[in-house]
């Protein structure tokens, strides 16, 4: 896994609450046995019409959002199914962070294991982001804040262990496996 310290990007805004994982990646794209290419199915039913043409006014389809790696979305982002295909699709499409006022538990867990930052911001900062579509932000894991190009600085919380793993490019399974003795002892206890 690549280390993540900080990055800068313009933002693209989807100001809808409760965006569920069926919207992020519909079930028909889940018949895969690898993680590759899932970005093609990202928000598929919002991005494309019946005949597969791009829906022009969908935010991700507009020229100004090209190359954006920060998505601003409504509250309870990622609710619904446990499909890790959702963060895989977001990452494959090019996103590195989702900024929202709240996230669903399983999505948040899954995102953090794939180098995608689900960052909870204040209502005030969120309103600023939705009002200033396309604004540039710098996300720093080192400083634990987001700096917007209009001079605002928004701190965020991140589960310390996930932060450590992200900043050092560490796979969390290694941490569990290092506790082999404790696991064995637990099993022996019956």
Partner 1 sequence: MAESGKTLFEKVWEDHLVVEETPNTPAILYIDLHLIHEVTTPQAFQSLRDKGLSLRDPNKVLATMDHSTPTLPVKSIADLDIVAEKGPADQIRDMIRNCEEFGVELHGFDSDKRGIVHVMGPELGATQPGKTIVCGDSHTSTHGAFGALAFGIGTTEVGHVLASQCLLQRKPKTFAVNMDGSLRSGVSAKDIILKIIQKVGVDGGVGHVIEYRGSTAGVLSLEERMTICNMSIEAGARAGMFAPDDKTFNYLIDKPMSPKGPDWDQAMKRWSRLVTDEDVAFDKEVNIDIDQLSPMVTYGTNPGMAMEIDGVVPETNGDLGFKQSLNYMQIEAGKPLIGKDIDVVFIGSCTNSRISDLKDAAEILKDRKVSDGVKALVVPGSQAIKKEAESLGLDKIFESAGAEWREPGCSMCLGMNGDTVGNGKLAVSTSNRNFEGRQGKGARTILASPKTAAASAISGSVEDPRKYS
Is 143 a binding residue for partner 1 by CB under 8 A? The answer is no
Distances in Å between the Cα of 138 and the Cα atoms of 5, 101, 112, 144, 167 are 11, 18, 18, 11, 16
CB-based contacts of 111: which residues, under 8 Å, 6+ apart? 78, 87, 90, 98, 103, 117, 118
Judged by CB, which is closer to partner 1: 4, or 104?
104
Least CB distance from residue 149 to partner 1, whole Å?
Answer: 25
Binders in 7-36 for partner 1, by CB under 8 A: 15-18, 20, 22-23, 26-28, 30-35
Q: Give the H or E element holding residue 92.
A: helix 85-93
Question: At closest approach, how far in Å is the CB of 129 from partner 1?
Answer: 14
Which residue lies nearer to partner 1 by CB, 6 or 171?
171
E-state strands within 25-175:
70-73, 97-100, 117-120, 136-140, 145-148, 153-155
- R_g of the chain, CA atoms, integer Å: 18
75 near partner 1 (CB under 8 A): yes
**What is the binding site for partner 1 (CB under 8 A)?**
15-18, 20, 22-23, 26-28, 30-35, 45, 50, 74-76, 79-84, 87, 102-106, 109-110, 113-114, 159-161, 164, 172-173, 175-177, 179, 182-183, 186-187
């Amino acid at each position: 896994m690549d280390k993540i310290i900080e990055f800068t990007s313009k933002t693209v805004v989807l100001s809808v609450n409760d965006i569920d994982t069926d919207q992020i990646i519909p079930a028909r794209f889940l018949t895969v046995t690898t993680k590759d290419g899932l970005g093609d199915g990202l928000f598929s039913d919002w991005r494309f019409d019946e005949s597969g043409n791009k829906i022009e006014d969908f935010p991700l389809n507009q020229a100004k959002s090209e190359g954006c790696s920060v998505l601003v979305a409504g509250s309870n982002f990622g609710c619904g199914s446990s499909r890790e295909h959702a963060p895989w699709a977001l990452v494959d499409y090019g996103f590195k962070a989702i900024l929202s006022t709240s996230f669903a538990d399983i999505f948040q867990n899954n995102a953090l294991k794939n180098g995608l930052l689900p960052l909870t911001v204040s209502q005030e900062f969120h309103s600023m982001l939705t009002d200033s579509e396309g604004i540039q932000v710098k996300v720093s894991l080192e400083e634990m804040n987001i700096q917007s190009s209009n001079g605002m600085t928004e701190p965020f919380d991140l589960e310390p262990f996930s932060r450590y793993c992200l900043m050092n490019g560490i796979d969390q399974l290694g941490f569990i496996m290092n506790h082999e003795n404790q696991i064995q002892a637990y099993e022996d206890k019956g």
